Amino acid sequence: MSEPPIRIVSYNVRYFGHALRGLASTQGPKRRVSAALAALDPLPDVVCLQEVETSSFRSSVAERRKVPGETQLQAFMGRMEEIFTAQGRAMPYDAFYFRAHHYKLGDFSLYTTGLAILVNRDTLRVDRHNVDAPAQITHHHVQRLKERKQSRICAHMRLARASDGRAFHVFNTHLSLPTPFAREFWATKDKMGCGVNQLHEARKLVALVTEHAQGEPFVVTGDFNSPPASPVFRYLCDEAQLTCAQATVGQINPALIRGFPTAGFMHLRMHLDHLFSGRGVRWLDMEETRPFGDVGSRFHGLSDHMPLIARFTLEGPSQQAV
């Protein structure tokens, strides 16, 4: 009997503050995102989140913490627990937080940035991760602004299927916006994915993936701030030879910058989020992945991004359990 596919979700949740245009986190978005994820059938095995805070003024000014020192991820997981309990189900996820940057005014914590990965303990086992020291991939185009530049990181986990021990890697990241301090920024109409800093970060990302995957199957996911056909996207697919999940299943034409927006700002629609893979991963479908603005999606209106939801299988023989 063949092993069931692995389901993965990648979602920029905008600090769970979309109701207040990202200015502050509120309880409602946490509850609604939790309910939307819990409604997926089958449940995801891995959920990769971008733009998740630790604890700061922005994360708590509009929502009182239930316990002192509660982080934003802990508050979100509390809502997940409530949703599953109300449905009479055990909540199967363990949450891991990868801290990126901390903005302070003196001793006052203004806001923080980071990534998170939720792992379904019923289907997967965690072998190792870089929670304590997330990989730094930030490119500082202007050195004198280095301390003010938002840090960009890559979260990494080596996971294994609980059923047969077959290992694979998950890399979750959020690339910078294109720097305006470069001539190329002003020379192109479509700027997203064209930044020289973004290309540097993409190269650091690929080097990191190569170093840690060591030939094993892997998935790279996140908010790349780069649409299809952009220099960053072309580098990842053509030079680094990563496989784009949406292109593989026929959901997008990788030669078109526009066509399937995953994010929106006012009247702008952009394709910024991606799922990539290396050898040993075969993409099956992207059921329930909808373009930004699709009112029929259970995730409509919950963030300024839409989640990518995909299933894949691991090819090749099973390995000894980790």
pLDDT for the residue numbered 142: 46
Contact 201, 138 (CB under 8 A): yes
Q: How far apart are the C-alpha atoms of 303 and 19, rounded to whole Å?
A: 8
Q: Is the pTM higher than 0.85?
A: yes
Q: DSSP string spanning 158-222?
A: EEEETTT--EEEEEEEEPPPPPTTSHHHHH-S--TT--HHHHHHHHHHHHHHHHHHTTS-EEEEE
Distance of CA 112 to the CA centre of its chain: 16
DSSP 232-248: HHHIIIIIS-PEEHHHH
Q: How far is CA 228 from CA 161, 215, 238, 260, in A?
A: 31, 26, 12, 10
DSSP 8-state assignment for residue 20: G
What's the pLDDT at 145? 45
Query: Dihedral of CA 266/253/199/282: which sign?
Result: positive
Closest CA to 131 of 142, 119, 149, 120: 119
pLDDT at 151: 81
Give pLDDT tens digits along the chain (322 positions). Answer: 578 999 999 999 998 875 445 444 566 789 999 999 999 999 999 999 999 987 543 444 445 556 656 788 999 999 999 999 999 999 999 999 999 855 545 554 455 679 999 999 999 999 999 999 999 999 765 444 444 556 899 999 999 999 999 999 999 999 999 975 455 554 566 679 999 999 999 999 999 999 999 999 999 999 999 999 999 999 999 999 999 999 999 999 999 998 999 999 888 999 999 999 999 999 999 999 999 999 999 999 999 999 999 999 999 765 544 4
Task: Classify 32 as helix, strand or coil.
Answer: helix
Q: Angle 163-123-5 (CA atoms, 0-180°, nearest 5)?
A: 80
Domains of the chain (ranges plus CATH)? Answer: 6-314 (3.60.10.10)
Angle at the Cα of 81 (from 76 to 85), degrees rounded to 5?
150
28: its two tokens:
């409602």
Residue that the structure tokens 């890399």 belong to: 171
Supply 302's token pair. 């919950």
Write out the two tokens for 158. 């080596």
Residues in the chain: 322
Tell me, what's the pLDDT at 63? 54
| Cis preceding-peptide flag for 42 (omega within 30 of 0) | yes
Residue 211's φ and ψ, nearest 5 degrees, are -65, -40
- Residue 59: predicted pLDDT: 41
For 218-254, give one letter per residue: b (16+ CB within 10 A) or e.
bbbbbbbbbbbbbbbbbbbbeebebbbbbbbbebbeb
